[in-house]
Structure 1
Amino acid sequence: MGHVYTKRINKLKEEVRVMLKQAVNPLDQLQLIDTLQRLGLAYHFEDEIKRILMSIYTHNSYDNTRMREDLYATALEFRLLRQHGYKIPQEIFNSFRDEERNFKMYLCEDREAMLSLYEASFLSEEGESILQYARDFTTTSLKKYVEQSKDQNLSMLISHALELPFHWRMLRLETRWFIDVYERKQDMNPLLLELAKLDFNSVQATPGRSKIHVKVVEEYRFRRKIGLCQR
């Protein structure tokens, strides 16, 4: 990649840092971090992401009786914090369960929330029955949705996740797939899309850099999985 492309990438990275700094709503912050991960860009912003997640973790109380009304947001928060090594209890999902400890059936109406909970369930640890039940519950619901839905974009995302959750996928292969998906989203951010494409092509075009990049990023993901990331 030439000097012009490198200069453009650096400029876009600075603009993303501004976006991360200006995002003050926790859900907006979490969604931006999730998008950066899926676009293969998170490794550029490790310090910013660590600070945001630390702030979210520090300012939230994970008392089991805490009422949570947004399953999508709760599951996304749970997944990202656990990915980065934070000890978040599975009981934060208790407010979405009924007296018989089953997940409330009305939740099935929100497919994005179901998908978010499905992805979160794969961050479970041994013996966490709530997350195991969440996986079974969401898998059944999402499979039915795919069979009946006419929303091709959402069905494609769900089918992709049902094949293999994001947490288990090879990052670089997932990045290439998600860039195409993200480009078709109505709420796509052109700045993030441009940076993702330039960064992906830069890695692919530089001899030896692709293998080094994959090794570095996969090592970072592995460290997150086993809780070695700094907290």
Structure 2
Amino acid sequence: MAALEPAGSFKPALLVVDLQEDFCPPEGSLAVPGGREIAPLINTLLSLPFSLKIATKDFHPQDHISFETSHAPPNNRPFESSVNISNPSETSQSHEIPIWPVHCVQGTKGADIIPEIDVAKVDTIMEKGKDRRVEMFSGFADVFGNKSSQATNLDLADRLNSAGITHVFVVGIAGDCCVKCTALDAKKEGFQVCVLEEATRSVDTGEKGWGAAKEEMEKAGIKMTSADGPEVERVKKLP
């Protein structure tokens, strides 16, 4: 858990979630509508005096369990089919995950952060979803809540705590999936969390997608705010 901070303490981090080629039009295999449109705003945010700036990216092996190519037809239709996976740490536990098109495979262009993002302003790039056996939407843990060096190159909570971070600002793709899961886990880890709405894009922009995601986050105590809101103004005033 994040350490208790003195009243008024403010040391913010920016998490840029999965701004990758395969999640962006026009050629991404799992493209989120408007994904590239948020790059200029995210670059503006990266220019602000956040104490730490981290970009996450999916970094899957070729045979990842969520891929359509890892399952036999007819039960491997992307966006329609699902599969039950076992918890690598406790095989009696299972979790149902969607089947996806092949995406963000290690060593491919699809796994790259889009060139519109100024990665020179990012302190750390975190690779997640590296364990073929398990899905990992959040930057903090897999769908079972496990933190494993097989699945990621970085313990995100440890990195934030080591830097003394108190507040986490989350942006990126997709708002109704990886952004939501990362924000929820950041809150569970004890950080104050803000999601900047206009700096996210979702697969489903309707009430069952982004609408439901916002409701879930707000119920968890996450602040849905704007890049023009008082929270970001507070960042701008930092030395």
TM-score by length of 2: 0.28
Which one has a bigger Cα radius of gyration? 1
TM-score by length of 1: 0.28
